Amino acid sequence: MGLVGVDRVKHFIAVASGKGGVGKTTVAVNLALAMSGEGFNVGLLDADIYGPNIPVMMGLSQRPKQEGKRIIPLEKFGLKVISYGFFVDENQPFIWRGPLVSKAIKELLDRVKWGDLDCLVIDLPPGTGDPSITTAQLIPDASVVIVTTPQEVALADVRKAVNMFKRMKIRLLGIVENMSYFQCSHSEAKIEIFGKGGGEEMSRQMDIPFLGVIPIDIDLRKGGDAGIPLMIGSPESETAKVFKEIAKKVKASLDI
């Protein structure tokens, strides 16, 4: 690979989707924490250069220190974390062209002193554009976790992303279906707001393992907004258990 920053990283897990707003960052953060809870050394890289959300979701805003040209990742909740959002004013939009975005992602892999990590979780922006392609090209042995919601408009976009990764010969670890249902505290019934079983059906059709079902959970959203992820704020909740199960499956399939 020739990227100095990640030369001691054993596994790369990119969290991707063809669709925006389906919960990639939420899954990336909580999966990274669940992996860390399994006893692994874990890093979290925000590859969403245009709209980095990791700083808010991890409650981080300091500027990372530098050692010469090397960047030292911030540390929080046991994770090493880097986002382009740490280097810019959070209210200013990035107006960059594709090649610059690719260069930025390369820098985050190359110049950051990630050190010894069992796995680096990479939060990708939506779609099949430059950031996903760059990541796949720079790290051909990365594995991808696909996030989708159950409704057809999401699944249609996600299928395209799956096909792109397949064409690039990137390993697909599995599909997570997010926002699968809402369990109202006043009733036993699960309300399937976005439909039922779309992620699982896609996993069968596209021959990719199914990793789990995450409900719509107000605490998950609140934790993201407050910078205290659910895995830290409510580690015993039902949703946290789902993330732990997903982490176990990821661990088993990566053999770590």
Ligand X SMILES: Nc1ncnc2c1ncn2[C@@H]1O[C@H](COP(=O)(O)OP(=O)(O)OP(=O)(O)O)[C@@H](O)[C@H]1O
Q: Which residues bind ligand X (CB under 6 A)?
A: 17, 20-26, 48, 51, 53, 125-126, 178-179, 214, 216-217, 220-221, 224
Shortest gap between Cβ of 61 and Mg ion (angstroms)?
Answer: 17
Matching residue, tokens 């996030």: 147
The verdict on 178 binding Mg ion (CB under 5 A) reads no
Q: Which is nearer to Mg ion, 41 or 128 (CB)?
A: 128
Q: How far is the CB of 7 from Mg ion (least distance, A)?
A: 27
Q: Of 24 and 113, which has the nearer Cβ to Mg ion?
A: 24
Based on CB atoms, which residue is closest to ligand X, 111 or 249?
249
Q: How far apart are CA 183 and CA 218, in angstroms?
A: 10
The full DSSP string for 16-60 is E-SSTTSSHHHHHHHHHHHHHHTT--EEEEE--SSS--HHHHHT-
Tell me which H or E stretch contains 180: strand 171-183
Min separation Cβ 188 and Mg ion, Å: 32
Burial of 82 (0-12, 13-18, 19+ CB in 10 A): buried
Q: How far apart are CA 165 and CA 159, in angstroms?
A: 10
C-beta closer to ligand X: residue 5 or 52 = 52
Q: Which residue lies nearest Mg ion, judged by its C-beta? A: 25
19 binds Mg ion (CB under 5 A): no
Phi, psi of 118 (to 5 degrees): -75, -40
Neighbours of 188 (CB within 10 A): 6
* Spatial contact of 30 and 242, defined as CB atoms under 8 Å apart: no
179 binds, among ligand X, Mg ion, none (CB under 5 to 8 A by kind): ligand X
Give the shortest CB-57-to-Mg ion separation in angstroms. 9
CB 239 within 8 A of CB 230: yes
Q: Tokens representing 186? A: 């006043």
Q: Choose the stretch contacting Mg ion; rule: CB under 5 A; options: 35-43, 51-59, 168-176, 189-197.
A: 51-59
Closer of 201 and 219 to ligand X (Cβ) = 219
With respect to Mg ion, which residue has the nearer C-beta, 58 or 113? 58
Cβ–Cβ < 8 Å for 31, 250: yes
Task: By CB under 5 A, tell whether 24 contacts Mg ion.
Answer: yes
Residues forming the site for Mg ion (CB under 5 A): 24-25, 53
